[in-house]
Structure 1
Amino acid sequence: MNPEAVFQALAEEEVEFVLVGGLAATAHGASLVTFDIDLCFRRTDENCERLARALGRLEMEIFPPRQSPIPITPELLQSYRLLHLRGPAGRLDLLAEIPGLGPYDDLFPETTRIDLLGISVPVLTLDQLIRAKSVLQQSKDRQHLDQLLQVRRLREGGEE
């Protein structure tokens, strides 16, 4: 996984997005292992055009692969609620909205910016991550929630 290449392409194309999921949790201090980058993006025509250009530069393809490759177009980006991609920079999941938080326009105002690999990246806040994980039911989400709550306790001066 090469997050630097992904964030650089997104920044250069001025894509409006928020980092969510495992990498966002690790940016806040959780010790999670993640193998992909999860992003929630603004679904305007203009932003989907910029995102499609960035994904083209990154040579991203839909995963799992189809018999005939499907071009990643702005229209395709607007039609999916969840899109799994992969390319030389690694795996990327694009989400239309975050359970418990809503779409980009609802969650962006509360986000924070974190310097990741020299690039200022919009990231869900720790509280947003906790709210999102609280509504999910998979065991990995419960484990992530426990870690996020532990990070919050440590930040508030509590014990481990």
Structure 2
Amino acid sequence: MREHQVQCLLMGGQACVLYGAAEFSRDTDLAILASEENAERLTKAMNALEAEVIAVPPFVLQHLEAGHAVHFRCRHPEAAGMRVDVMSRMRGVTDFATLWERRTTLVMDDGTLCDLLSLGDLVQAKKTQRDKDWPMIRRLVEANYFSNRAAPSPEQLIFWFQELRTPELLRDLAQAYPALAKEAVPMRALIHHAISNNVSALEAALDAEERQERLEDQAYWQPLKQELERLRRERS
């Protein structure tokens, strides 16, 4: 991707590993800019990886812009069998220009630069109907919390109030920062259970919050799945 100057951001399981919340992943998931120029660059990169599109939809910008993922399988000996999934739109996630502006850039052991979704955007992208994503959200936010709780920035405190999914940690956070906790209630009503130290009510509210996100994700994907089924029939 670097060699062909593809404007993309690493997300998915490999990004979770780099943020300290280990997850085994056989795939490389990328958020990409949906533009003609960037699509040409991605095509060159996929050709270099001897990658082919698998399943549906085909690699067409209109499918990316609609919110579909396009799936590639690499044949190059140095990446044999690796699947690369690309998307440019995700439910509840902002536009790519904003994602790019607030991205995280890490230097790998070999000196390679790697651009990732910001932690907040990665957490938002993980709010799906899939069972495996919710424990990962919890681990991502906890890893950030435990790494920075000794001297948190204002932005980190806001992020934790918005995204922590561990009742006891939310309670501790509310007790440590009572003024911020009160300010957080309008954006996340369940914080008032943390303030009142009602852990059982807080746990129930977190479960309800997760169920609502899952339902919204199911509703979001329903028309997209119907379109995929139409594309499968046409291909057959």
Return the TM-score normalized by structure 1.
0.79
- Structure 2 residue 112 is matched with structure 1 residue 119: yes
2:123 match: 130
How far 1:156 sits from its partner (Å)? 2.0
Residues 105 and 77 (structure 1 numbering): CA distance in 2 closer, same or farther, change over 3 Å?
farther
SS of aligned partner of 1:139: coil
2:212 match: none
Give aligned pairs, total.
Answer: 142
Structure 1: runs of 5 or more not aligned = 1-9
Per-residue CA deviations over 1:48-73 (Å, capped at 9, x if unaligned) read 11110111110111124x9xxx9x7x
Alignment of 1:2-151 (within 5 A): 10-64=1-55, 76-80=59-63, 81-88=68-75, 89=79, 90-116=82-108, 117-133=110-126, 135-151=127-143
SS of aligned partner of 2:136: helix
After superposing on structure 2, the runs of 4+ consecutive aligned residues of structure 1 that deviate more than 4 Å are none
Q: Which has the larger displacement, 94-103 or 42-51?
A: 94-103
- Structure with greater proportional strand content: 1
Structure 2 counterpart of 1:121, one-letter code:
C
Return the TM-score normalized by structure 2.
0.55
Structure 2: runs of 5 or more not aligned = 151-167, 170-236
The 1-side partners of 2:96 and 2:146 are apart by: 29
SS of aligned partner of 2:132: helix
The 2-side partners of 1:77 and 1:40 are apart by: 15
Structure of higher RCO (CA pairs closer than 8 Å, 6+ residues apart): 1
8 Å contact kept, 1:18–1:104: no
Between Structure 1 and Structure 2, whose CA radius of gyration is higher?
2
